[in-house]
C-alpha cells in the first residue's frame, strides 16, 4: 500500500495526533516498516506501541525516512485514531511499550490538514565526526570515528558550493527512488567542538544517502585528499560514480522539521542531547 493510499485508508478516524520521536537507530534496518516482520524497523515498533494505547491498529506517517543505523532526536510523525486520549497518555503510555532506544518526546492534537511529510517546509540533519587517534568506546555507534585530522576552513568553503538549488544526482544513492534529484540546501555549516566535528545541513528535502555522501566528500576535502573545488566538480558531474565514499550512518541525526506556524508545534532543541547548551 502506498503512503497516499495508506492515508486514505485511515483518514476517516476523527482524531489526528502529531508526535516527536527520538531514537537510536543502531539496532534497526531503518525507519520504514519492512515486508518481513522479522526485520526490525522503527516504524513497526512505534506503531505496535501506539496501537496498544489506542486499542486499535495504528499506522503512522513520518516527516522523513531514515536509513539503517541513523538516529533521530526530532522525527515527526502523525497518525489518526478512533479514540481521544490525554496527550500525556500518548507520550507516557506509549513509552511504556517501546524499547529503551525509542522514546516519544511529546504529542499534540492537530487538524487533518496537518501531514508530517507534506506539511514540512524543511528538514535538518547533523552529522557528527569524532576525530581522534584512538577510537571512542562511548557513543561508538553515535558518532563516526576517524583517526584523520581535518581542515575545517577547507570543508566550509567546499560546503558553500552546495548551498542553493541544485541537481544532486552525484550526491544521492544509485538506488534512490525520488522522481527528481533537484533539492535546495538552505544552510550547510561545519563546526568543531573539541574533537567533535559537526556538519549541520538544512534543506527543503533530502535524497537517499544525500547527507552521508556530502559528509564523505567534505571529509575527504578536510583531510587534504581532495581540493576544495572537488565538491563542486562532483555536483556538476551529475554522476554518483564521481562522489567518493558514502560516510557511515552512525554519526547521522535527524534533528528538526520546519512546519508553518499555524500548526503550533514545539520548537526543536536541535539535538542530540549531549550537545545541549552548545548552540
Catalytic residues: 67
How far is residue 259's CA from residue 120's CA, in Å, rounded to a whole number?
A: 5
> What residues form DSSP beta bridges with 109?
17
How far is residue 257's CA from residue 234's CA, in Å, rounded to a whole number?
A: 28
H helices of the chain, in order, are 3-10, 42-54, 87-88, 94-96, 152-160, 210-222, 230-237
**Which residue in 72, 101, 78 sits closest to 90, CA to CA?**
78
Q: For 69, phi and psi rounded to 5 degrees?
A: 85, -5
Residues 6 or more apart in contact with residue 108 via CB below 8 angstroms: 17, 18, 19, 87, 264, 265, 266
Angle between helices 210-222 and 152-160 (to 10 degrees): 130
Q: How far is CA 234 from CA 128, 161, 218, in A?
A: 22, 11, 11
How far is residue 184's CA from residue 135's CA, in Å, rounded to a whole number?
A: 35
Strands 252-258 and 122-131: antiparallel
Amino acid at each position: 500500500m502506498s503512503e497516499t493510499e495508506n492515508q486514505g485508508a485511515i483518514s476517516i478516524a476523527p482524531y489526528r495526533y502529531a508526535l516527536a520521536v527520538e531514537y537510536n537507530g543502531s539496532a534497526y534496518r531503518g525507519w520504514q516498516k519492512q515486508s518481513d516482520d522479522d526485520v526490525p524497523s522503527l516504524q513497526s515498533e512505534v506503531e505496535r506501541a501506539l496501537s496498544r494505547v489506542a486499542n486499535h491498529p495504528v499506522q503512522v506517517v513520518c516527516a522523513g525516512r531514515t536509513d539503517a543505523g541513523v538516529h533521530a532526536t526530532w522525527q515527526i510523525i502523525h497518525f489518526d485514531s478512533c479514540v481521544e486520549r490525554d496527550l500525556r497518555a500518548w507520550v507516557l503510555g506509549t513509552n511504556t511499550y517501546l524499547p529503551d532506544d525509542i522514546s516519544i518526546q511529546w504529542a499534540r492534537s492537530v487538524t487533518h490538514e496537518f501531514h508530517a511529510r507534506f506539511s514540512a517546509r524543511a528538514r535538518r540533519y547533523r552529522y557528527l565526526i569524532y576525530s581522534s587517534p584512538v577510537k571512542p568506546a562511548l557513543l561508538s555507534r553515535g558518532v563516526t570515528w576517524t583517526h584523520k585530522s581535518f581542515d575545517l576552513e577547507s570543508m566550509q568553503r567546499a560546503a558553500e558550493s552546495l548551498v542553493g538549488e541544485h541537481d544532486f544526482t552525484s550526491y544521492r544513492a544509485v538506488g534512490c527512488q525520488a522522481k527528481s534529484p533537484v533539492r535546495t540546501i538552505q544552510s550547510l555549516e561545519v563546526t568543531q567542538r573539541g574533537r567533535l566535528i559537526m556538519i549541520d545541513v538544512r534543506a527543503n528535502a533530502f535524497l537517499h544517502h544525500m547527507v552521508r555522501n556530502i559528509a564523505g566528500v567534505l571529509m575527504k576535502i578536510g583531510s587534504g585528499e581532495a581540493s576544495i573545488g572537488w565538491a563542486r566538480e562532483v555536483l556538476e558531474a551529475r554522476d554518483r560514480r564521481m562522489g567518493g565514499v558514502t560516510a557511515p550512518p552512525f554519526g547521522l541525526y535527524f534533528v528538526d522539521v520546519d512546519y508553518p506556524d499555524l500548526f503550533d508545534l514545539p520548537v526543536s532543541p536541535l539535538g542530540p542531547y549531549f550537545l545541549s547548551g552548545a548552540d
